[in-house]
Amino acid sequence: MSLLHHWEHEFDKVKVRLHGLVTRLEMSWKKLVNDLEPEEFQAIVKLLQRGHDQAQHVIEHGDLPDDEPAVPWELSHGLSILKIGNATPLPQSEDELPTRVLKDGTLLGCRKWELLDLLWSEALLKWIENLRHHAPFATNPALVKMDSDVVLAIAGDWGTGPFDSHAPAVAVANQMQLALADFTIHLGDVYYAGTHSQEDVDMVGWPQGKHGAFTLNSNHEMYSGAHGYFKELSKRFPVQQGTSYFALYNDDWLVVGLDSAYASDAMNLYMDGTLNTQQIEWMKTLPKRKKLMVLSHHQGFDISGHNKTALYQPVCDALGREPDYWYWGHLHNGICYAPQGGLHARCAGHGAIPYGTTSELNGHARVLWSETQLAGDEAYPQRVLNGYVKVRLKGEEIVETFYGEDGSVRWSSH
């Protein structure tokens, strides 16, 4: 099949799926409207308007507007799909909007996984359906002893599933298997909306570590109220004890996996990391070790590494100090930041979503490395390599290696 026919076929599939999605979205919207207070309704309409206007601004100017905070791209098509006001539909095909790479590496386009992919509206649908219906928060966190010489394989935002023969998630999983890791850790995000069926299909290929695997909660899991996420824990991640946070430890290291999504602001689509009281109290009881590593879905810095997020200080306060290492996803990039104070921060959110070169980081003093190597993907010619990070802890020492989906070493601490 030629590339042109491939995308025509993909677009036809999207239209069929979207028809049912639009019907469900309209029904869910009508139900939600009846349940909402007037001020809540107006707040959501305003969010949808901002999402629509933001997309139009970026299409016209190539960058986000600077007069308001960014809103999630999942909102972009909502205004026109729900026929609220007189919103002009945004582009829905490659003919209307050829793909281009924004400065943060995201792909502005209408194809699968790009910012204006129509099927991101499924996240909007599930967010509306589950705005007030969250799964119960489990409080039985695993505390697992590691060997003194242990290998972790970490990838974030991996949950696209094998959406096509070229799906980066498959190649990344194959490389992770070669790491022979003791534990594998997913930093969260199953697409489009972390539903039970998506968790079931997309996570089936997640590589298991010799002693277990973990997966973190995220904004996309929360769009479905985390119902699918918590069901998936019992099925494929039994060592996690049905709980969205955990810790690994040995004589030298404490590795803390956090749920930064459950308590996040639903009206901001869970985009900013937050800790709840249960986790904070638990974190204060954890054993102290000379070396401390944190794992979360949401980031502790903005993409530039210049500004700490609202998650940063609560994590440090609950643990009693700044971590030595912190791995996060959420941003679909592979980035190693220069040390700041005692913290070595890493973004490993490049597990599967197609993305391009993050040009705003070129020559940036606070960035040691970000991925720029083209993947050679005919379907996504601007895509750079997806990948994962292998971490070996031996005594107090750590060796970090970022691998590309092709097996190449993209960055190493040694």
From 207, 211, 197, select the one nearest 240 (Cα to Cα).
Answer: 211
Return the pLDDT at 7: 45
Q: Where are the domains of the chain?
A: 3-129, 142-412
Separation of alpha carbons 153 and 413, rounded Å: 15
CA 42, distance to chain mean position in Å, is 28
Return the pLDDT at 83: 86
Amino acid type, 303:
I
Strand partners, 183: 152
pLDDT in tens, the chain (414 residues): 555 455 455 545 555 566 677 787 778 777 777 877 888 889 999 999 999 999 999 999 999 998 888 999 999 999 998 888 888 999 999 999 999 999 999 999 999 999 999 999 999 989 988 998 999 999 999 999 999 999 999 999 999 998 877 799 999 999 999 999 999 999 999 999 999 989 999 999 999 999 999 999 999 999 999 999 999 999 999 999 999 999 999 999 999 999 999 999 999 999 999 999 999 999 999 999 999 999 999 999 999 999 999 999 999 999 999 999 999 999 999 999 999 999 999 999 999 999 999 999 999 999 999 999 999 999 999 999 999 999 999 999 999 999 999 999 999 999
Return the pLDDT at 2: 55
What pTM does this model have? 0.94
Three-class secondary structure assignment of the chain: CCHHHHHHHHHHHHHHHHHHHHHHHHHHHHHHHHHCCHHHHHHHHHHHHHHHHHHHHHHHHCCCCCCCCCCCHHHCCHHHHCCCCCCCCCCCCCCCCCCEECCCCCEECCCCCCCCCHHHHHHHHHHHHCCCCCCCCCCCCEEEECCCEEEEEEECCCECCCCCCCCHHHHHHHHHHHCCCCEEEECCCECCCCCHHHHHHHCCCCCCCCCCEEECCCHHHHHCCCHHHHHHHHHHCHHHCCCCCEEEECCCEEEEECCCCCCCCHHHCCCCCCCCHHHHHHHHHCCCCCEEEEEECCCCECCCCCCECCCHHHHHHHHCCCCCEEEECCCCCEEEECCECCEEEEEECCCCCCCCCCHHHCCCCCEEEECCCECCCCCCCCCECCEEEEEEEECCEEEEEEEECCCCEEEECC
Return the pLDDT at 63: 95
Query: For 142-412, which CATH class?
Result: alpha beta
Return the pLDDT at 27: 80
